[in-house]
Amino acid sequence: MAKARLSSYHGRETTSEDAAMAPKSALGSAPKTTKKPGKKAARTLNQPMGGNVMLRPAAPITMMRLPTQPDARGLDACFVGIPLDWGTSNRSGARFGPRQIRQESSFLRPYNMATRAAPFDALQVADINDVPVNPYDLKDSCRIIEKFFSEKILKYGCRPLTMGGDHTITYPILQAMKKVHGPVGLVHIDAHADVNDTMFGEKIAHGTPFRRCVDEGLIDCHRTWQIGLRGTGYTAEDFDWCRRQGFRVVPAHEIWWKSLVPMMRKVRKAMGKRPVYISFDVDGLDPAYGPGNGSPEIGGISSMQALEIIRGCKGLNVVGGDFVEVAPAYDVSGNTSLYAANFLYEMLCVLPGVPYR
């Protein structure tokens, strides 16, 4: 009688007989041993927990059910959450984003079947939990975030992929990035430019991060692309400030019904080999795809276009990325968080050093 087949996380099939005889770790979450180019010593790589080891709704709630550790020591890339939403101006709830994104990420598998990326075959990846932000003080939270990224992630040469949290968090992350990389190029997907000088008289809020980044020289304005901007504004010139700084602004209506592969060729040419950061606000998506957010705008990009943008960053020196503003309470299906988990995984797949099978 033919042996039943079980899917494996290691590029081969496992039989039911294998399953009966093998230790639990052999069915998809066993660490891999690999060698870094030019080094003799082998290292053991973390693997996501397989769906044949533990049912997907079960086990620890970590990104892709990866192991956890307190900092990024020894890691090439890490997932980290920032449960902050006291910078929002409309619907709050993004503080619950990291937990729900982790929950939905249990459905992900390690190999990218479209691009053939195999990040867990070469990179050491873990979930380093959440930044302990201060829920009573937004400015202090920014200080905590910058310090956490500087001392627990970037000092180890690790590339962070961050689960928000509202878009305020990108500002302190890029403060930390500048200390290591200098001003970074920016691929920013969003419905809003987030370049207000103040909101209710405050310099720090989810609508001001990229104004502060320009003020402090955290981003290279001539290597900054804002994609998907749209909606109503306070003046007809709301996006013109960005253009005056040198940003390339791509309004959503200019890319309706289009593949973004040609646009991403232009992005790659503009970015060159210097460091690049990806910041993706869920409201960049049309709310038909991502309703679970605090500031929805009609007429956004599709999930397929979002994939084209992130996959189009392959070959760039991506030093980190974030996915922000997921507010799970406004999407009881969980699909918005599932999108976020997938797009963060896609960012992992385009990091330098990822092999393609």
Contact 126, 46 (CB under 8 A): yes
Rounded-to-integer distance, Cα 335 and Cα 342, Å: 10
Does residue 29 lie in a domain region? no
Q: State how beta strands 32-35 and 42-45 pair.
A: antiparallel
What's the pLDDT score for residue 10?
A: 34
What's the pLDDT score for residue 36?
A: 55
Comparing 34-38, 166-170, 228-232, the range with the smallest average pLDDT is 34-38
For every residue of 69-135, DSSP letters joined together read -SS-TT-SEEEEEE---TT-SS---GGGHHHHHHHHGGG--SS-TTT-B-GGGT--EEEEEE----T
Does residue 309 lie in a domain region? yes
Rounded-to-integer distance, Cα 138 and Cα 202, Å: 10
What's the whole-number mean pLDDT along residues 78-103?
96
What's the pLDDT score for residue 238?
A: 87
pTM: 0.90
Does residue 50 lie in a domain region? no
What's the pLDDT score for residue 6?
A: 34
What's the whole-number mean pLDDT along residues 98-115?
97
The answer, yes or no, to whether residue 169 has pLDDT greater than 70, is: yes
Residue 95 tokens read as 């503080």
What's the whole-number mean pLDDT along residues 28-33?
66
Q: What residues contact 6, with CB distance under 8 A and at least 6 apart?
A: 13, 14, 15, 16, 18, 19, 27, 52
- Chain segment 228-286, per-residue pLDDT in tens: 999 999 888 889 999 999 999 999 999 999 999 999 999 999 999 999 999 999 999 99
CATH for 202: 3.40.800.10
Other C-beta atoms closer than 10 Å to the C-beta of 15 total 15
Residue 235 tokens read as 């003046």
Q: Which residue is listed with tokens 């020894």?
A: 74
What's the pLDDT score for residue 172?
A: 98
Rounded-to-integer distance, Cα 317 and Cα 350, Å: 9
Contact 327, 86 (CB under 8 A): no
What's the pLDDT score for residue 30?
A: 65
Other C-beta atoms closer than 10 Å to the C-beta of 60 total 13
Q: Provide the b/e sequence for 260-281 (b: ≥16 CB within 10 Å).
A: beebbeebeebbeeebbbbbbb
Q: Provide the b/e sequence for 286-304 (b: ≥16 CB within 10 Å).
A: bbebbbbbbbbbeebbbbe
Rounded-to-integer distance, Cα 174 and Cα 286, Å: 26
Collapsing DSSP to helix, strand or coil, 37 comes out as coil
Does residue 267 lie in a domain region? yes
- Chain segment 201-233, per-residue pLDDT in tens: 999 999 999 999 999 999 999 999 999 999 999
- Residue 180 identity: V
Contact 52, 14 (CB under 8 A): yes
Which percentage of the chain shows pLDDT scores above 90?
A: 84
Rounded-to-integer distance, Cα 294 and Cα 336, Å: 12
Comparing 15-24, 146-155, 165-174, the range with the smallest average pLDDT is 15-24
Rounded-to-integer distance, Cα 170 and Cα 324, Å: 9
Which percentage of the chain shows pLDDT scores above 70?
A: 89
Rounded-to-integer distance, Cα 58 and Cα 65, Å: 10
Does residue 40 lie in a domain region? no
What's the pLDDT score for residue 126?
A: 98
Secondary-structure percent of the chain, ordered helix, strand, coil, rounded to 5: 35, 20, 45
Stated as kind and residue range, the H or E segment containing 179 is helix 170-181
What's the whole-number mean pLDDT along residues 308-330?
98
Rounded-to-integer distance, Cα 311 and Cα 305, Å: 10
Number of domains making up the chain: 1
What's the pLDDT score for residue 32?
A: 76
Does residue 328 lie in a domain region? yes
Structural domain harbouring 71: 61-349
Backbone angles phi, psi at 14, to 5 degrees: -115, 135
- What single-letter DSSP state applies at residue 165? S
Q: What is the mean pLDDT of the chain?
A: 90
What's the pLDDT score for residue 35?
A: 61
- What single-letter DSSP state applies at residue 356? B
Does residue 193 lie in a domain region? yes
What's the pLDDT score for residue 31?
A: 73
